[in-house]
Amino acid sequence: MNRNSLAVGLPSRRRPRPFSLVVFGASGDLASRKLYPAFFSLFREGNLDDWSLIGFGRRPWSDDDFRAEIDKALGPSKPTDLERRDFLSPCSYTTGEIEDPASYQRLSRTLKNDRDVIFYLAVPPEQYRPIVEQLGLAGLARKGADPKGPQTRIVVEKPFGRSGEEAAELNLFLAQRFDEDSIYRIDHYLGKETVQNIAVFRFANEIFEPIWNSRYISHVEITVAETVGVERRAPYYERSGALRDMVQNHLFQLLALTAMEVPASFSADAVRDEKVKVFRALRPITEDQMADRTVRARYKAGFLEGQFVPGYLEEPGVSPDSKTETYVAMKLFIDSWRWAGVPFIIRTGKRMSRRVSEIAVHFKKPPLELFPQGWSGSNQLVFRIQPDEGLTLYLNTKIPGLTDRSRMVSMDFLYGTGFGAPSPEAYERLLLDVLIGDGTLYTRRDEVSASWAFIDPIRAAWDEGLVPLYEYEAGRSGPVEANKLPQSFSARWRRL
C-alpha cells in the first residue's frame, strides 16, 4: 500500500491496519534510544489503533519487566499516567535464543494470524541470518502471502553487508524467505525532514528545477561531520570505517536525492528507480585516480569544545596498528545528461570541529562581472539536515552607501519556527511507513548492489595502500590534504 509519502509529507493521521511489532534486540541501545520513543510518539499523535508490541530477547524478563524498561526509555517524553497505562498494556515479552526453534514457536503463539506482523531486527548484523532462518522455519515469514490479506515485513538496520559480495549473499538469503517488497532496509537519514524535502523543493518549485543542471550549477558539496568519536563502537568501527559506515549508505542516499531525475510518480518503486540510476551513472574511480580523487584519514588527539579528547588509536578497543579511517572525502562525477562535468565533493568524519550535515548547491558565476569591486561570491542553496533543519539561499546584494560594494546575505527557513511545531524524529516517520507498508524511504535491493559496486574498488585500493592514511587533529575540519579536491576546480570547502 504505497503512498506518495515523499511528496506530501506526514499527514496528521496515517493509520496502519491492525499489526504486531516484534523487536529483536528488545533490551538493546537502539530499541531504548530510538524505537520505543518513536513508537510512543506515533501512539500519542493518534496514528495507531489496534496494535501490540512484542519484545524478543535472551534476558529472562516478565511482561512487567519489559514494560518497565520501555517506561524508562520514555522518560524524556513525559507521558501522563493515562498515556503510560494505555501504551504499556499492549506490550509483552518473549524470552528466547536466536537459534532456538522452540523460542520461535513460543513467539508464534503470541501472534495473531489476522493482522500484519513487522519484525524489527535491532541486533548486530551477524545475527540477521540466524533470526531470518528461524523465522522461515517457524512459518513466520509468510513469503508469497495474499496481498489483500495480512502481511509480514522485516526491517534490517545498516550495515547491510561489508561488501557487494556480502550484500548480495544477504539479499539472496532474505529473498528466499521474504518478498522484496516486504524487506525494509532502513537508513535513518532518509527519515529526516530536510532530506524528504529535497524532492519536494526540486519538483514542486518550478523556479529551481529548470536550473538544476550543469548549465547553472558549478558543483555540489555534501558534508556529514560529527563531533563524537567512536565511543563504545570500536569493535564495529574497526571492521567498518567511515567508508562503509557513512559513505556507502548515508552520503550516497543524499547524493541520489539531490541528483536524481524527476520520477514518473512518487510511488516507492518510481522514486527508487531514479535513485539507482544515479548510482549506476557514477563515473568509476580508476586506480591511478585514487590518490587524486579520494582522501582518507583518522583523527588524532586534540581539543574539542575546550576538552582534550584522545586520538583514534587511543580509543578503547582499537588496535594499535589499526588502518581504519574515520574521515573520507571524495570527488565524484555523474555521467548523465543533467550532470555532465559537475563535480560532487563529499566528506564525512568523526571528531570534527562542528556537528553538521548539509547539502550545498553552488551555482556558477554570472557570465559577466559587472561589479568586479563588490562581487562577493556565487549563489548557494544549502539544505541543512542537522542540527538545525532548514534551507538557506545565499544572494549577493549591495551594501547601503555611496560605493558599489556588495556582500552575501542569506534567506533562511527553519522547520522549527516555520511551521510552529518540531519535525518528527526520523525513526518516527520511518516506523510509521513500515507499519503502513510504504517503502519509499527505504533502500531497495538494486540500490544496495549499485552503491557497493562503486565502493568496493575504492575499499580494495585503500586496503592495498594506494591512498595514504592521513591524520587530522580532533576539533578541526579534517585533514589539509582534503583541500585538494575542491582546489582542483578552483573552489574550496564550506567552513565548518
Q: Look at residue 286 in the predicted model and tell me its pLDDT.
A: 96
Q: Look at residue 223 in the predicted model and tell me its pLDDT.
A: 97
Position 339: which residue type?
Answer: W
**137: CATH:** 3.40.50.720
Same domain, 240 and 383: yes
Burial class (CB in 10 A: 0-12, 13-18, 19+), 4: middle
pTM: 0.90
Q: Look at residue 355 in the predicted model and tell me its pLDDT.
A: 94
Last residue of a domain, one of 185, 216, 241: 185
**199 located within any domain:** yes
Question: Is residue 471 predicted with pLDDT exceeding 60?
Answer: yes
Question: Is residue 420 predicted with pLDDT exceeding 70?
Answer: no
DSSP 343-375: EEEEEEESSBSS-EEEEEEEEPPPSS-S-TTT-
Q: Look at residue 238 in the predicted model and tell me its pLDDT.
A: 92
Q: Look at residue 422 in the predicted model and tell me its pLDDT.
A: 63
Question: pLDDT class for 14, splitting at 50, 70, 90?
Answer: low
Mean pLDDT across the stretch 295-314? 95
Same domain, 372 and 295: yes
**234: CATH:** 3.30.360.10
Same domain, 320 and 266: yes
Gap between the Cα atoms of 233 and 111, Å rounded? 34
Same domain, 251 and 363: yes
Last residue of a domain, one of 185, 204, 224: 185
Same domain, 141 and 215: no
**495 located within any domain:** no
Mean pLDDT across the stretch 243-249? 93
Same domain, 180 and 196: no
The string over 134-168, giving b where at least 16 C-beta atoms fall within 10 Å of a residue's C-beta and e elsewhere, is bbbebebbbeeeeeeebbbbbbbbbbbbbebeebe
Q: Look at residue 124 in the predicted model and tell me its pLDDT.
A: 86
Helix ranges, 343-480 (H)? 415-418, 426-436, 445-463
Give 175's contacts (C-beta < 8 A, 6+ positions apart): 183, 445
* β-strand partners of 347: 223, 329
Number of domains in the chain: 2
E strands, 288-400, are 294-300, 302-304, 307-309, 327-333, 343-349, 356-363, 380-386, 390-398
Geometric angle at alpha carbon 77, from 190 and 413, rounded to 5°: 45
**492 located within any domain:** no
Q: What is the pLDDT of residues 342-372, one digit of tens each?
A: 999 999 999 999 999 999 999 998 887 776 6
Same domain, 195 and 176: no
**285 located within any domain:** yes
Same domain, 178 and 116: yes
Same domain, 357 and 445: yes
Question: pLDDT class for 374, splitting at 50, 70, 90?
Answer: low
Question: Is residue 4 predicted with pLDDT exceeding 70?
Answer: no
Gap between the Cα atoms of 482 and 327, Å rounded? 10
**47 located within any domain:** yes
**198 located within any domain:** yes
Question: Is residue 8 predicted with pLDDT exceeding 80?
Answer: no
Same domain, 423 and 482: yes
Phi, psi (deg, nearest 5) at residue 112: -95, 140
End-to-end CA distance of the chain: 42
Provide the domain limits for residue 50.
Answer: 5-185
Question: Is residue 7 predicted with pLDDT exceeding 60?
Answer: no
Q: Is 71 helix (H, G, I), strand (E, B) or coil?
A: helix
| CB-based contact 219:380 (threshold 8 Å) | no
Gap between the Cα atoms of 477 and 356, Å rounded? 11
Q: Is 220 helix (H, G, I), strand (E, B) or coil?
A: strand
Active-site residue list: 250
Gap between the Cα atoms of 316 and 406, Å rounded? 51
Question: What rounded mean pLDDT belongs to the chain?
Answer: 90
Q: Look at residue 426 in the predicted model and tell me its pLDDT.
A: 80
Gap between the Cα atoms of 120 and 435, Å rounded? 11
Q: What is the pLDDT of residues 139-184, one digit of tens each?
A: 998 887 787 888 999 999 877 888 999 999 999 999 999 999 999 9
Same domain, 198 and 135: no
Position 47: which residue type?
Answer: N
Last residue of a domain, one of 130, 151, 185: 185
Q: Which percentage of the chain shows pLDDT scores above 90? A: 70
Burial class (CB in 10 A: 0-12, 13-18, 19+), 280: middle
**330 located within any domain:** yes
DSSP 96-127: --TT-HHHHHHHHHHS-TTSEEEEEE-S-GGG
Among the listed residues 29, 57, 36, the one whose alpha carbon sits nearest the alpha carbon of residue 127: 57
Strand-by-strand arrangement of the 294-300 sheet: 406-414, 390-398, 380-386, 356-363, 217-225, 343-349, 327-333, 294-300, 469-473
Mean pLDDT across the stretch 302-309? 93
Cα dihedral 179, 185, 190, 196, rounded to 10, equals 0
Same domain, 155 and 225: no
Q: What is the pLDDT of residues 33-56, one digit of tens each?
A: 999 999 999 999 999 989 999 999
| CB-based contact 358:383 (threshold 8 Å) | yes
Gap between the Cα atoms of 116 and 136, Å rounded? 16
**58 located within any domain:** yes
